[in-house]
Amino acid sequence: MTDSSTDASGISQSAVESPSLSLFHRAFDKLYPAIRFYHERVSGNSWYSEITPQLWLGGAPTYARDYDELLANKINAVVNIRAERDDDVDFYRIHDIAYARYRTPDMMAPDAATIQAAADWIKNQVDDGRIVLIHCAKGRGRSATLLAGYLMREHGLSFDEAEAQIRGKRSLTKLEARHRKVLEDWLAAAGPGGTTP
């Protein structure tokens, strides 16, 4: 369901619980305000982090203030890698924000086809002069994997270099050996020009 209304706490209803959510995600939703408080106020992390002038990495826009922050930072393209829920697509439509969703379950690394499609979409947005936010739930794993893949392909970085660039701007990212493997295998299969055969 896509609904641009917000509840009393300012949470966009399109980002709230779906009947198909797992028990884990239902519990996550209940604890979400505490998670956000800890993340931003206690740990001092930003919800969105500028990695390059055109590439941002972050958690999912949920509160009205998150969507306002997109506008304040002139972010006009968004990639959502979450399988568990959609963003407020009505907000994006009203504000001419390009949007793509690639569904990867929480705590999983995106597969090669997803990385390829997302990297192609991000490249098109960057080439069009847009500022792109790549997000998952908290901006730590799935979205960081996509961004690392894009940096590896388009900027010629190794996995370690891409990870260092991302962690230098967003220290809470969590790229692991499984993320390295999927990215290095994808890039090796893509060959010259970055497209898979």
Q: Domain count of the chain?
A: 1
Q: What is the C-alpha to C-alpha distance for residues 117 and 185, in angstroms, rounded to an integer?
A: 15
Residue 15: the pLDDT is 40
Question: Is residue 6 in a domain?
Answer: no
pLDDT for position 9: 34
CATH number assigned to the domain comprising residue 179 = 3.90.190.10
Task: Report the b/e string of 16-33 with b at 16+ CB within 10 A.
Answer: beeeeeeeebeebbeebe
Q: Is residue 7 part of a domain?
A: no
Q: Which pLDDT belongs to residue 59? A: 94
Residue 1 lies in a domain: no
Q: Which residues contact 23 (CB under 8 A, 6 or more apart)?
A: none
Q: Is 187 contained in some domain?
A: yes
Residue 8 domain flag: no
Does some domain include residue 83?
yes
**Per-residue pLDDT at 193:** 57
C-beta atoms surrounding 110 within 10 Å? 26
4 within some domain: no
Residue 26 lies in a domain: yes
Q: Mean pLDDT, consecutive 10-residue segments, the chain of 197 residues?
A: 32 42 70 76 85 97 95 98 94 98 91 96 98 96 97 97 98 95 94 55
Full domain range(s) for residue 98: 13-194
Q: Note the pLDDT of residue 20.
A: 64
Tokens of 55: 């590439």
Sheet holding 77-82, edge to edge: 48-52, 55-58, 132-135, 77-82, 98-104
pLDDT value of position 22: 72
In Å, the largest CA–CA distance within the chain is 51
Predicted local confidence at residue 176, as pLDDT? 95
Q: What pTM was estimated for this model as a whole?
A: 0.83
